[in-house]
């Protein structure tokens, strides 16, 4: 990633990020990495992400589920295939068009809504969900983690559960362009008022597409800030596990893919947590 300056005003971050995601969603849908055809060929096919989560998710049959920041709907469809009654929310129209087309092509009934994440309660109403599933590159697009925690608590019905698997803030802070592969903290670990701007020509999956809108604005949130956001919103923490693997090649050249298709540090993998799973319940 190419760090640029940080900016003092945030009002344009949605427009900047939306232009970026508008372009990338169709390229992701066409990429072998997302492999949409596999969902059409095999009615039991699940995304790699949901397969990783499956044991921790447990039985979700019959739950009213919301996938916040669902992108092109591969995880959402996988949760539907595990028996949850799914809704999905994301903000670029092209991502939702892909998600809807995929669901329609396999006869899955999933309710997809186009909105900003912070508008989810206005879209669905409060207390409507038994399961709120999100992560894998979702939280970094939201400037205020405490506000996100309150949003999650409001969306969940009593007894409902948050399931979050996400890139670890310690990983997001690491310089991913060093040739010597030293793990050097370059970017903010804690939440900052101003976003960090990046200019990146590609995306996180291999593609031949040449993109025009390459600037993004994103934020990190420290683990303590994320856990506090959940606790301060009144949820009860039921699981917090850190993992040595991540679904994308986060530190190019320093990682090796494992048997499950996740990426690990090639050398001394115990140095750094790469992702985490957090679960919390609304009592
Ligand atoms: C990396 S993707 C999530 C990936 C997902 N786990 C997957 O692999 O399919 C991040 C998603 O967040 C969405 N997003 C970013 N900012 C958002 C916002 N303010 N409101 C709603 N969605 C947003 C993007 O459109 C994108 O689909």
User: pLDDT (tens digit, 9 = 90+) per residue, 153-205?
Assistant: 999 999 999 999 999 999 999 999 999 989 999 999 999 999 999 998 999 88
Q: Is the pLDDT of residue 4 over 70?
A: no
Q: Is the pLDDT of residue 110 over 50?
A: yes
Is any ligand 1 atom within 6 A of the Cβ of residue 90?
Answer: yes
Rounded CA-CA distance 181/4 in Å is: 21
- Say if CB 17 and CB 95 are below 8 A apart: no
- Say if CB 165 and CB 136 are below 8 A apart: yes
Rounded CA-CA distance 275/243 in Å is: 5
User: pLDDT value at position 258?
Assistant: 95
User: pLDDT value at position 12?
Assistant: 87
User: pLDDT value at position 115?
Assistant: 97
Mean per-residue pLDDT of the chain: 95
Q: Is the pLDDT of residue 152 over 90?
A: yes
> 3: how many CB neighbours lie within 10 A of its CB?
13
Residue nearest to atom 6 of ligand 1 (CA): 136
- CA 29 to ligand 1 center in whole angstroms: 14
Measured from the CA of 74, which atom of ligand 1 is nearest?
9
Our mutation pick for probing the ligand 1 site, out of 90, 114, 133, 152, counting the most ligand atoms within 8 A of Cβ, is 90
Our mutation pick for probing the ligand 1 site, out of 21, 52, 204, 246, counting the most ligand atoms within 8 A of Cβ, is 21
Our mutation pick for probing the ligand 1 site, out of 72, 141, 165, 172, counting the most ligand atoms within 8 A of Cβ, is 141
Residue nearest to atom 15 of ligand 1 (CA): 141
Q: Is the pLDDT of residue 3 over 90?
A: no
- CA 273 to ligand 1 center in whole angstroms: 22
Q: How confident is the model at residue 206 (pLDDT cuts 50, 70, 90)?
A: confident
Is any ligand 1 atom within 6 A of the Cβ of residue 275?
Answer: no
- CA 267 to ligand 1 center in whole angstroms: 31
DSSP tag of 209: P
Q: Is the pLDDT of residue 142 over 70?
A: yes
Is any ligand 1 atom within 6 A of the Cβ of residue 133?
Answer: no
Is any ligand 1 atom within 6 A of the Cβ of residue 95?
Answer: yes
Alpha-helical runs (H) found in 34-92: 36-41, 48-57, 74-81
Q: What is the pTM of this model?
A: 0.96
Burial degree of 201 (CB within 10 A; 0-12, 13-18, 19+): exposed
Residue nearest to atom 14 of ligand 1 (CA): 69
Q: How confident is the model at residue 11 (pLDDT cuts 50, 70, 90)?
A: low
Is any ligand 1 atom within 6 A of the Cβ of residue 141?
Answer: yes
User: pLDDT value at position 7?
Assistant: 46
225 or 207, which is more confident:
225
Is any ligand 1 atom within 6 A of the Cβ of residue 21?
Answer: yes
- Say if CB 173 and CB 225 are below 8 A apart: no
- Say if CB 39 and CB 45 are below 8 A apart: yes
Q: Is the pLDDT of residue 225 over 80?
A: yes
> 177: how many CB neighbours lie within 10 A of its CB?
11
Q: How confident is the model at residue 73 (pLDDT cuts 50, 70, 90)?
A: very high
User: pLDDT value at position 1?
Assistant: 46
> H or E stretch including 65?
strand 64-68
Per-residue pLDDT of 180-192, as tens digits, reads 989 999 999 999 9
- Section 12-25 average pLDDT: 94
Rounded CA-CA distance 268/20 in Å is: 35
């Amino acid at each position: 990633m190419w760090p640029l300056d940080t900016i003092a005003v945030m009002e344009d971050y949605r427009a900047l990020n939306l232009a970026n995601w508008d372009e990338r969603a169709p390229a992701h849908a066409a990429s072998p990495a997302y492999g949409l055809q596999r969902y059409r060929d095999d009615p039991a096919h699940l995304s790699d992400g949901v397969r990783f989560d499956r044991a921790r998710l447990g039985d979700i049959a019959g739950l009213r589920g919301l996938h916040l920041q669902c992108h092109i709907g591969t995880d959402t469809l996988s949760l539907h295939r595990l028996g949850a009654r799914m809704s999905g929310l994301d903000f670029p129209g092209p991502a939702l068009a892909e998600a809807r087309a995929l669901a329609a092509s396999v006869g899955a009934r999933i309710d997809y809504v186009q909105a900003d994440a912070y508008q989810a309660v206005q879209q669905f109403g409060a207390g409507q969900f038994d399961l709120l599933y999100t992560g894998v590159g979702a939280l970094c697009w939201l400037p205020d983690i405490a506000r996100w925690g309150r949003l999650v608590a409001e969306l969940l019905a009593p007894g409902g559960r948050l399931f979050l698997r996400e890139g670890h803030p310690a990983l997001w802070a690491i310089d991913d362009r060093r040739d010597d592969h030293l793990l050097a903290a370059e970017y903010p670990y804690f939440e900052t008022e101003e976003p960090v701007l990046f200019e990146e020509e590609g995306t996180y999956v291999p593609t031949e597409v040449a993109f025009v809108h390459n600037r993004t604005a994103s934020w990190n949130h420290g683990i303590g800030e994320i856990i506090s956001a959940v606790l301060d919103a009144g949820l009860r923490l039921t699981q917090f596990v850190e993992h040595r693997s991540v679904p994308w090649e986060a530190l190019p050249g320093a990682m090796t893919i494992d048997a499950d298709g996740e990426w690990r540090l090639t050398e001394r993998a115990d140095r750094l947590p790469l992702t985490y799973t957090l679960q919390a319940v609304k009592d």
